[in-house]
Amino acid sequence: MYKSSIKKISIMLSLLTLFPAVCADEINIYTWEDYFSEDAIAKFEQQSGHKVNLTYYDNEPTRDALLLSEKAANYNIILIDSMMLNIYSNKQSMYIFSKENTPSIINHDEKWREACGDVGIPYAKGTIGIAYRESVSQTPITSWTQLFNPPIEHQNRVSMIKDNIDTAAIALIVNNLLPFSENQEDLKVAFNTLKQQQSKLLTYQYLLTHTSINQDQSMLSLAMAYSGDVATAIRNTGQQDWRYVVPDEGTLFWVDCLAVPFPENATAATMLFLSYINDPKVAITTAEELLFSTTNNEAIKLGSESYLSNSDLFITPEIQARSSYYEEIDYKSIELRARMNALLKEN
């Protein structure tokens, strides 16, 4: 009995070390779907006493509009790509991370930390490519041109993401133009390519949103997608033949960061959650469950062989050689790209 009590007290003290006593609080997170493990969050809530609320966006223009509105104050943490984070941080005073207030930040590779700056913690990285159903494809999917002029079997079964950066970037790449060009003539060429694509599309909904809504009734067979998306598409639909490819022309590398939109939103509960989610064991469990490429070097050391050998998540040097990292573009160019998207309508 005595030994049993000592053991229970020891366990309780260990939990208190990880989760110090603070008033129960809610942590509101604005994120893409399938970026946080339900099991990991449940364990955090049980151990800390705090409640985590996830609100999903399915396109970046919606997220960006919220970021620049008073509604951003409702969220403790926002998942945002490194490029828009840098633009947003020039317009708003955000919480600044350091090794002192967030020790777990050192778990991340320095180049990804630089991408997120001092206002973000790197969380995930990857590529943009094409997701397709192998059973539908009669010809191999290898080029961005097939997304804009799809093979007959995929016509009217295609989804295209509306994003203020990525949509135009891919349309520029397919025309052999620089993906972050600010030249208006280049963007006009990209817009014409996007308009010509419209009649071949089923939807502008993000692959994961569309498959989540339609499940096994989804008729999508070709989609602009992010690395790791096919695992969720398979779970959503039960269609086991979804595949992902980086086209021959190359792609873009993205980095998603965790940011606190206002300094006062960095509550004790928020900082505790960020420390928890960046713990290597939690990070690798989450990344392997949801199949995204973590930026956490210490977590990668714990990765399984099947995870580390996944070519959708860890790209080859050959793909790297023909691809681009994000480049900052001026806000006027972003606004022009946003207007282009607004003019693209569903069929």
Q: Which two tokens stand for residue 1?
A: 């009995």
The pair phi, psi for residue 308, each rounded to 5°, is -70, -20
- Measure the CA–CA gap between 39 and 160, rounded to whole angstroms: 31
Strand 121-133 to 222-226 pairing? antiparallel
Please provide the average confidence, as pLDDT, over all residues in the chain.
89
> What interhelical angle do 166-173 and 331-343 show, nearest 10?
80
Least confident of 54-58, 251-255, 320-324: 320-324
pLDDT over 70, % of the chain: 93
Residues 108-125 have pLDDT tens digits of 989 899 999 999 999 999
DSSP state letters, 164-180: TTHHHHHHHHTTT--TT
* pLDDT the model gives residue 67: 85
Count CA atoms within 13 Å of residue 307 on its CB side.
18
Q: pLDDT band for position 322 (50/70/90)?
A: confident
- Measure the CA–CA gap between 274 and 102, rounded to whole angstroms: 8
Return the percent helix, strand and coil in the chain, to nearest 5.
Answer: 50, 15, 35
Q: pLDDT band for position 87 (50/70/90)?
A: confident
Least confident of 10-19, 35-44, 205-214: 10-19
Q: Which two tokens stand for residue 299?
A: 């977590």
Least confident of 62-66, 146-150, 229-233: 62-66
How much is the pTM?
Answer: 0.79
CB atoms inside a 10 Å sphere around CB 38: 11
Residues 194-253 have pLDDT tens digits of 999 999 999 999 999 999 999 999 999 999 999 889 999 999 999 999 999 999 999 999
CB atoms inside a 10 Å sphere around CB 21: 7
- Measure the CA–CA gap between 110 and 105, rounded to whole angstroms: 9
- Measure the CA–CA gap between 315 and 294, rounded to whole angstroms: 13
Q: Are 211 and 233 in contact (CB under 8 A)?
A: yes
* pLDDT the model gives residue 24: 61
* pLDDT the model gives residue 83: 87
* pLDDT the model gives residue 347: 61
Residue where the block lists tokens 């580390």:
308
